[in-house]
Structure 1
């Protein structure tokens, strides 16, 4: 699954504002004492995670950016810059990574990725990180909670249908969607990792009207794809919602897993 660079650019500030900086504190003094730090960003998109995190980590850093989309990799590689930062890009299936691929890695990161994976893929990721003894900072996973203000009776119907869409099967793969965080916690803890989570919601208001509009259209569109009968309600619902000063809270959770070796 790939995303348009324009959408990733539109959401980058909201992502940066939402990420839980509290989870960076436990990283100090563990496996990040290598020089340079070797950080693998899985499903890097245009590199927004790296742009947010690089300045929050000390010392020289070498980022290995993984994505299936060569266009996004090109953008990420060109914009991940800094006096202490070097970058390489790896095109391919990030779900195929194993512990041997992560040898020498200081930290694995990902943003808005877990809910796009299956239970088996999450287990494989946990096994790879545990086997290589490297921490994982996995941010902005959807948890199926959306609050709209002002509220409408139809909000719950669209939310339920959207969450079902997130859990759909794609090419025989059943996505975890809002169940991703709990599945990831379980997978890492089963391997002896210490796991911490923090909420990282988007809090969007009238000053982010463009992002609210794009998010709402995508949210409603996915709901209608899951429950076609909602298509009758969708145009009027969108008109009402986008005509006023809508405020939205979109629930996410950030997760830090510290394997025993760390």
Structure 2
């Protein structure tokens, strides 16, 4: 599958999940990244930036003057992201923003020339192996670290349990792998690719933990989760419709707890070989 075939995500969905994403991302990997960044100003490339939630989360945590280059193939999302990026960090340093419309098929080391960091959120699992390899190769040649967050791992926990949970989950995971996408294998595939290119890779769990305070997000996630499962396996449609009604009613009542497991990945090039510091 080509990048241009990957479904677009609606701004409403991206807005709805932003708080859960921010709570889930790994503070441990961010702490490990800090000492390995080049001296400011930092040049940060945000791949598949969506509405810019990664920048809103990360820019204040890094501090110092920063240039964010936002990459996305959707011009409307790029406009939203650019407008909503912070203009200063918590220490008062300036944040400037540039945009680059396009897909990962055109990502090269020259695109990342002078980069201090490559980052992305909820991106790896909607890529092919070839696209993941391209990111790893470009980062290696540009000699810059990568912080790639919130990749699904194919594990979901719902409480209370339902007899249909496992079947829906299995069909959803198969849907995630359609057309050669890495889906739940994203972190493993990316770890292998970055390691092959000489990086030191660390990963950390970054689950969504959704309870009564997240009923709107839980409901929308359920609709997408079940919908993808049925798209993959149309024979599930009859049972899935009743299942979704039950689960939505529970979510609305605050009686459903969902844990959607993800992993974050940090890839660090060999010490002393950072692009912007070279």
- Give the SS at the match of 1:238: helix
- Give the SS at the match of 2:55: helix
Q: 1:187 aligns with which of 174, 182, 193?
A: 193
Distance (Å, rounded) in 2 between the aligned partners of 1:121 and 1:235 = 35
Are the equivalent residues in 2 in contact too, given 1:95–1:125 (CA < 8 A)? no
Task: Tell me, yes or no, if structure 1 residue 40 matches structure 2 residue 45.
Answer: yes
Distance (Å, rounded) in 2 between the aligned partners of 1:175 and 1:128 = 20
Task: Tell me, yes or no, if structure 1 residue 247 matches structure 2 residue 257.
Answer: yes
- Give the SS at the match of 1:249: strand
Distance (Å, rounded) in 2 between the aligned partners of 1:181 and 1:28 = 21
Distance (Å, rounded) in 1 between the aligned partners of 2:184 and 2:24 = 17
Distance (Å, rounded) in 2 between the aligned partners of 1:55 and 1:96 = 29
Q: Offset of 1:192 from its aligned partner? A: 1.1
Distance (Å, rounded) in 1 between the aligned partners of 2:18 and 2:34 = 25
Distance (Å, rounded) in 1 between the aligned partners of 2:32 and 2:247 = 41
Residue of structure 1 in register with 2:266 after alignment: 256
Per-residue CA shift, 1:181-201, capped at 9, x if unaligned? 100000000111000000000
Q: Offset of 1:114 from its aligned partner? A: 0.3
Residue of structure 2 in register with 1:134 after alignment: 144
Structure 1 length as normaliser, TM-score? Answer: 0.96
1:111-130 mapped onto 2 (5 Å cutoff): 111-130=121-140
- Give the SS at the match of 2:35: coil
Q: Offset of 1:8 from its aligned partner? A: 0.3
Q: Offset of 1:257 from its aligned partner? A: 0.1
Residue of structure 2 in register with 1:144 after alignment: 154
Q: Which range is displaced more, 42-51 or 236-245?
A: 236-245
Q: Offset of 1:103 from its aligned partner? A: 1.1
Distance (Å, rounded) in 1 between the aligned partners of 2:9 and 2:19 = 17
Q: How many residues align?
A: 257
- Give the SS at the match of 2:156: strand
Distance (Å, rounded) in 2 between the aligned partners of 1:68 and 1:130 = 23
Q: Offset of 1:207 from its aligned partner? A: 1.2
- Give the SS at the match of 1:98: coil
Q: 1:70 aligns with which of 66, 69, 75?
A: 75
Q: Which range is displaced more, 93-102 or 114-123?
A: 93-102
Structure 2 length as normaliser, TM-score? Answer: 0.91
Distance (Å, rounded) in 2 between the aligned partners of 1:25 and 1:208 = 28
Are the equivalent residues in 2 in contact too, given 1:110–1:139 (CA < 8 A)? yes
Residue of structure 2 in register with 1:91 after alignment: 101
Structure 1: gaps spanning 5 or more residues: none
Residue of structure 2 in register with 1:49 after alignment: 54
Task: Tell me, yes or no, if structure 1 residue 18 matches structure 2 residue 28.
Answer: no
Q: Which range is displaced more, 219-228 or 233-242?
A: 233-242
Residue of structure 1 in register with 2:91 after alignment: none
Q: 1:210 aligns with which of 216, 231, 240?
A: 216
Are the equivalent residues in 2 in contact too, given 1:39–1:63 (CA < 8 A)? yes
Are the equivalent residues in 2 in contact too, given 1:127–1:188 (CA < 8 A)? yes
Task: Tell me, yes or no, if structure 1 residue 154 matches structure 2 residue 154.
Answer: no
Distance (Å, rounded) in 2 between the aligned partners of 1:28 and 1:221 = 40
Are the equivalent residues in 2 in contact too, given 1:206–1:246 (CA < 8 A)? yes
Residue of structure 2 in register with 1:232 after alignment: 238
Per-residue CA shift, 1:149-179, capped at 9, x if unaligned? 000110000000000000001xxxx100001
